A and B are shown apart, each in its own frame.
Chain A
Amino acid sequence: MSAGVPAVSRSGRSTRPTSVVGAVLLLVLVALPFLVYEDVTSSLVSLFVLIVIASMWNLLAGFGGLVSVGQQAFIGVGAYTVVALADAGVPPYLGVLMAAVTAAALALPTSFLAFRLRGDYFAVGTWVIAEVYRLVLVKIDSLGGPSGRSLTGMNDVDATMRAAFTYWLALGVAVVSVATCFWLLRGRIGLALTAVRDDEVAARASGVDVTRAKRVMYLVSAAGCGAAGGVLVVDALSVQPNAIFSVQWSASMIFIVVIGGIGYLEGPIVGAIVYFLLQQVLADAGSWYLVLLGCVAILVATRLPRGLWGTVHDRWGLSLFPVDYRVTRAPAAEPCPAVRT
């Protein structure tokens, strides 16, 4: 063999510097409440929420092929879980964890209904299901009905401390969400879904339990959105059903992921930052902001289907969270390591 055995690896040339930069960045983010004013950290909370929900949507659509327009169902369920548990005396910060669990638990029966629909019909079907969750929740008088409720159990916490805790909570949920996506996609499920993405029939034929893999994605995604909903209510201290169950959340997830790059773990993060900055810049533009965003999303979906990150990835081979394998030709003389991961 003259050219040597090709080597297969996951870590690209950018991976190691990434880990160092990432660790430093994370430290800075953790220390931020001690470094900057409260308004900075509090606006970062909404950025983190965007990153969480967009990563979850990307997990579903970009890797599971399940385009949902109804993930707001689980944002709402998460928010209301925190409110209901706070009434029962559970501290809201702990309630956020339970919000994730509740959302995933409800997502299981939901998935059996939703998975009866495919493709575009799945999308609209999930939207209907989200409406059902909203309409059922507003019937519960103790949760405030159509006008919503405020969160109890936070009054005795000092305002500055509360802002810092909420910030850390949001940061924690964001880090855990991105890490979970990374971990899931590098494991068996990721392999199964990659196989499905490449050729569903072949994947099924070779024994991949496609539906199970998709269901796991759906549950994880619901859990993430549930936690995000919990963060939202802890941040706002109240919940309003029409706002928390608004399809606007789906619009945000979709625009972020499409613009950032669908099917890349970096996509939602890049997209969320762009979206967040646009939101700050165009805060006074009202609805025109959404008109512009919709047009940008349409343009990106048709002209730049791999989004911002996909374009960067294609051009420079850059990957911060490498979940795909890359094949490189090893030097001829050197005995080759088989597979490194």
Chain B
Amino acid sequence: MDVVNALAQGLLLGGLYALFACGLSVVFGVMRIVNLAHGDLAIVAAFCAFVTLSATSLPLWLVAVVTVPVFSVVGYLTQRLLLQRSLQSGPLATLLVTFGLSVVIQNLLLELFSADTRTLDAGSFATSALEVGDVSLSYVGITGLVLAVGSIVAIQLFLSRTSSGRIMRATSDDPQTAALVGADARRVYGIASAIAFATVAMAGIVMAIRSSFDPSLGPAQLLFAFEAVVIGGLGSLWGTLLGGLALGVVQSLVAVADPSSSVLAGHLLFLLVLAFRPQGLVPARAS
């Protein structure tokens, strides 16, 4: 059945959107900023994996396993060396800096790799699928969904069970008072940024295995991730997962009827939520 299949594919796609979105959600929750280069970072990760894969004979899974922690370190450093400075110069500056970063990344990639589309060669993994009745679930898609749920569970556990996570929530509530109990906001923001970079790198690599990519795709990923966060409800990671799934399902279902309207349908879902349920599907704890 077309609809059941579209629903299943939508859930897999939505999982990938949630993976894109969870880092955005964490960073906004802690720092109240949106990194406009978020989507472009995923493309950078895809190109990093692509280059490593062509230059060495390492297997793709190993490349991915190395890229993700490297990205989290880069995220920590980007926050400490570039964004922290702009956070102190007022609310406008971070937007301007991350937007500038987005333009720089896109055009650098364009100069280095041209506008050609590429794919990450994952061999049989990319093409094989789990057959459930009439529905075929690609392993790549399942990986994306599993990584999304896994990342969100891990981030939730980090926030609720560890002392760094506790301090991150405290800093998100009230950075001045958190400093009074010894929280170094710069470090907390660095960790949030490291989480965002790591998850978006995963998302970028999964996306690059699923479909072809080129330097211009970043902004679209940012918009989908952003929509997932708003649809789900600001400040709730489970909401972000739900928002991503809703977005994926709507895009996928509409694509059955009219493939050219699928992205528009996702945007309209976002606008409908904004108009009629601005708190999102899963509102954050009232505080």
Q: List residues of chain A with CB under 8 Å of any chain B CB.
A: 61, 67, 69, 113, 116-117, 119-121, 123-125, 127-129, 131-132, 135-136, 139, 247, 250-251, 254-255, 258, 262, 286-288, 290-291, 293-295, 297-298, 301-302, 305
Q: Which residue, of B33, B92, B260, has the highest number of chain A Cβ atoms within 10 A?
A: B92
B51 contact set on A, CB distance < 8 A: none
**B92 cross-chain contacts in A, Cβ below 8 A:** 61, 67, 262, 301
Q: How far is the CA of A121 from the CA of B95 in the complex (A)?
A: 10
30 contacts between A and B (CB under 8 A): A61-B92, A67-B95, A69-B99, A113-B274, A116-B278, A117-B274, A119-B32, A120-B32, A120-B94, A120-B95, A123-B95, A124-B34, A125-B230, A128-B226, A128-B271, A131-B263, A132-B264, A247-B219, A251-B99, A287-B107, A287-B111, A290-B106, A291-B111, A294-B101, A295-B104, A298-B100, A298-B104, A301-B96, A301-B97, A302-B89
Inter-chain CA distance A302–B275, complex, in Å, is: 35
Question: Contacting A135 at CB < 8 Å: which of B34, B96, B106, B264?
Answer: B264
How many whole Å from A141's CB to the nearest CB in chain B?
A: 12
The contact of B274 among A67, A116, A297, A305, by CB within 8 Å, is: A116
Extra contacts, 20 of them, besides A116-B274, A293-B103 (Cβ < 8 A), are: A61-B92, A116-B278, A120-B91, A121-B34, A121-B230, A131-B223, A132-B267, A135-B264, A136-B264, A139-B260, A247-B219, A254-B99, A286-B111, A287-B108, A287-B111, A288-B111, A298-B100, A301-B92, A301-B100, A302-B86
Q: How far is the CA of A302 from the CA of B234 in the complex (A)?
A: 28
Within 8 A of A (CB), among B186-237: 219, 222-223, 226-227, 230, 234
CB-defined contacts of B267 to chain A, threshold 8 Å: 128, 131-132, 135
B interface with A by C-beta (< 8 Å): 28, 32-34, 36, 82, 85-86, 89-97, 99-104, 106-108, 110-111, 219, 222-223, 226-227, 230, 234, 260-261, 263-264, 267-268, 270-271, 274-275, 278
CA distance A217 to B94 in the complex (A): 23
Set of chain B residues within 8 Å of A258, measured between Cβ atoms = 96
How distant is the Cα of A113 from the Cα of B36 in the complex, in angstroms? 20
Is A298 a contact partner of B111 (Cβ separation < 8 A)? no
Cα distance, A234 to B147, chains bound together (Å): 50
| A69, A132, A294, A297 pick with most chain B CB within 10 angstroms | A294
In the complex, the answer to whether A302 meets B93 with C-beta atoms within 8 Å is: yes
Tell me what chain A mostly uses at the interface: helix, strand, loop, or mixed. helix
Q: B263 near A120 (CB under 8 angstroms)?
A: no
Count chain A CB atoms within 10 A of each CB in B28, B89, B97 and give the residue with the most: B97
Given A117-B274, A120-B34, A301-B86, are A290 and B103 also a contact pair (CB < 8 Å)?
yes
- Give the shortest distance, in Å, between A291 (CB) and chain B (any CB): 5
Cβ contacts under 8 Å, A139 to chain B: 260-261, 264
**Among A124, A129, A286, A293, which residue has its beta carbon within 8 angstroms of that of B222?**
A124
Q: A132-B264, A132-B267 are in contact. Are A127 and B223 (CB under 8 A)?
A: yes
Interfacial chain A residues near B100, Cβ < 8 Å? 255, 294-295, 297-298, 301
Query: Shortest beta-carbon distance, B119 to chain A, in Å?
Result: 23
Docked Cα-Cα span, A125 to B263, in Å, equals: 15
Shortest distance between the CB of A263 and any CB in chain B (Å)? 9
A67 to B, closest residue via Cβ: B95
Q: How far is the CB of A332 from chain B (nearest CB, A)?
A: 40
Complex Cα distance, B97 from A255, in Å, reads: 10
Residue of A123, A250, A286, A291 touching B104 (CB-CB under 8 A): A291
A305–B226 CB distance below 8 A: no
